[in-house]
A and B are shown apart, each in its own frame.
Chain A
Amino acid sequence: MIRTEKLVKSYGSGELELVVLKGLNFEIKTGEFVAIIGPSGSGKSTLLYQLSLLDEPTSGEVILDEVRTGELSLQEKTDIRLAKLGYVFQDYALLPELTALENVALPIIMQGLTTPEAYLKASLALERIGMVDKKHNLPSQLSGGQQQRVSIARAIAHEPQILFADEPTANLDSANGLRVMEAFRDLHEKSDQTIIMVTHEPEYAAFAGRIITLVDGTIVSDERKKPLK
């Protein structure tokens, strides 16, 4: 479970201060698939960075499994990210010198597994998203959609509690975007994976069971609905 308390994020100071998140309070329960939507500049990506411990709020707090993350050191946050969180970035963010398998195995090796064990787990993750046949390809040898699916495999291979996705379909055409969203849906349905996804595309937000709408750093709606099948 993850929740926020009066979460504020601002940039600059004085007259130039820009408040991006304005005291947000909400909670996401384990197993939820949440889409955060809103127009450009509404603060949705900024919110994701706070929730995923990649950034520090100006005030307020993110509480993850009853742990107040504002009190954690950088190293402790890194350890939590490795153990409990998974990330899918907008531009795939695969390491170019590593094959698909190695990219997926890297965080698993960092968790202390041997390389063969990590490769086995990585292969399973790639299989889950239908990319196992491309596991020896370098990112440059994969299409955008394929790269994003490898990125999803990397994010789920170490079995994180929460999977964060920042505009995962933004750089993909509609066919590939749809395949990525289907992958998220399968993960959620088959593994009860908690997913928090930022998107500006309503048709992809419809895959989620809960949609939080942000406008100017404020939650203007928080709807639970039946996800798209």
Chain B
Amino acid sequence: MLLSLRVGFFLALRQLRRSGKGTTTLIIFVMILTFLNLVVVSGLLVGLISGSFKQFREAYSGEVLVTSADGRDYIENSPALISFLESHPKVEAISPRYSVGVQLLGTLTDLPGKNERANRIGISLTGIDPAREEVVTGFSRFLKYGEHLNEGEEGYILIGANMIKKYSSFADANIPGLTLLEDVDIGSRVRVSFSRAGGGVVSKEFIIKGIVKSKVDEISTRAFITDKELKKLLPVNKEQVQSIAIRTDYEYAPTLVAETKDFMEGHAARIQTTDEAIPSFLRDIEQTFSILGNALSSVALIVASITVFIVIFINAVTKRKFIGIMKGIGISPQAIQFSYIFQALFYGVIGSLIGVILTFGILKPYFDVHPIDFPFSDGILVATAEGAAIRIAILLTVTLIAGYIPAKLIVRKNTLDSILGR
């Protein structure tokens, strides 16, 4: 066996070295494309969704997100929780946020006619500390028009672009139930109103200071004022916030979640890592894209295996006489088979190596810097060393089989028939 391997390697090395450069290049090119198809196509498909996960984490949730528990209006024990998080050595920054569902009236002077609908939308109003929000999410980068809020500033509001007809990506879509603010822009006055818990309505006018836009809905479909001002408007529970975004080490997030749950024992709150906080339908899409990617990869694998099979088969058929002669002079059939398997593996290994260099040296860094501008996310290339290693193993296994079968078919032919070309 070892001797056959050695002779097989001896033969393969020389056959490869002295074979046609064009054919070798073409086969390696096919293997590179197959590898890229295996890793990059599925990686990009999954990356479209993973990109949105990444943006959700970077633009909104942080690594850990604490929100109100189901059926509760706020995070219980918020002040103590904030203190706990602020003093936690692994927590880099937090951004507590107030949120309340409000009605936003866009036209304050021209009241609608009898059959006209008021220029009014329902929107989630979020109170933020601009400085803390900046540290956690880099909020100012979402400001597309106008100016950002200053800390403690009152009377000014930022509105998500997707809620204003002039800026919304959905302005031309006729979506039932979707109402957008019309005729408002930077500097316009709008009125915010919401019901008090005990009855009555809170109402206040704001000047639109800026328009914020992101592929994360939590930015583009909300309105923002300073936390201090919203706190003043809230009739009760002024110290209890609705969400806290926490920036920490991604790997540490599950531990922090467990520690926070321990701390909050007896107080209602939903404490999740960013991955847990992502809506399940997005997870389903990710899984579907992954399956789709794998299906496309399977086709590529079949094409590659057929290519290798044909190349090795033609190679073996055209050298049938020499295979017969080798058997005739005492070279074991196993050694001859190994020589073809080594050749097939060479194509697979070189193709994979170049594919790895292209993927991790060029494509991944490129897509990290220049993500694909997808409507709901910035698509990245999801490619891990582990995933690539698995795909290389699959590719090499398929290549090995595709090389072995034709070699076996030709080598097992009668020696004399092969020599005489019968």
Contact = CB atoms under 8 A, between A and B. Distances in A.
B330 A110 contact: yes
Interface of A: 49, 54-55, 75, 78-79, 81-83, 85-87, 89, 93, 95-98, 102, 106-107, 109-110, 112, 115, 138, 154-155
Nearest to A85: B330
B416 interface: yes
A81 B325 contact: no
Interface residues of B, number: 25
Contact of A110 (B15, B321, B332): B332
Interface in B1-31: 3, 6-7, 10-11, 14-15, 17-19
Contact of B416 (A49, A79, A102): A49
Sort A-B residue pairs by CB-CB distance and give the 5 closest, nearest first.
A82-B330, A97-B18, A93-B325, A81-B330, A97-B15
B326 interface: yes
Contacts of A110: 3, 7, 330-332, 335
B327 interface: yes
7 contacts: A97-B14, A102-B10, A106-B11, A107-B329, A109-B10, A110-B7, A110-B332
A69 to B, nearest CB: 14
Nearest to B332: A78
B360 interface: no
Contacts of A96: 18, 322
A110 B325 CA distance: 14
Contacts of A81: 328-330
B410 to A, nearest CB: 15
Contact of B326 (A54, A83, A95, A115): A95
Contacts, number: 68
Interface SS of chain B: helix
B328 A54 contact: yes
Interface of B: 3, 6-7, 10-11, 14-15, 17-19, 321-322, 325-333, 335, 415-416, 419
A78 B335 CA distance: 12
B335 to A, nearest CB: 7
B322 A93 contact: yes
A89 B19 contact: no
A221 B156 CA distance: 121
A54 B420 CA distance: 11
Contact of B329 (A112, A115, A154): A154
Given A93-B322, A110-B7, A112-B3, A78 B14 contact: no
Contact of A89 (B10, B331, B419): B419
Contacts of A75: 332
A54 B419 contact: yes
B15 A82 contact: no
Contacts of B329: 81-82, 86-87, 106-107, 154-155
Contacts of A87: 328-329
A82 B19 CA distance: 27
A26 B379 CA distance: 82
Contacts of A109: 6-7, 10
Nearest to A91: B321
A185 B327 CA distance: 27
A138 B18 CA distance: 10
A97 B13 CA distance: 10
A89 to B, nearest CB: 7
Contacts of B15: 97
B10 A106 contact: yes
A101 B10 CA distance: 13
B333 to A, nearest CB: 8
A82 B335 CA distance: 13
B327 A78 contact: yes
B330 A79 contact: yes
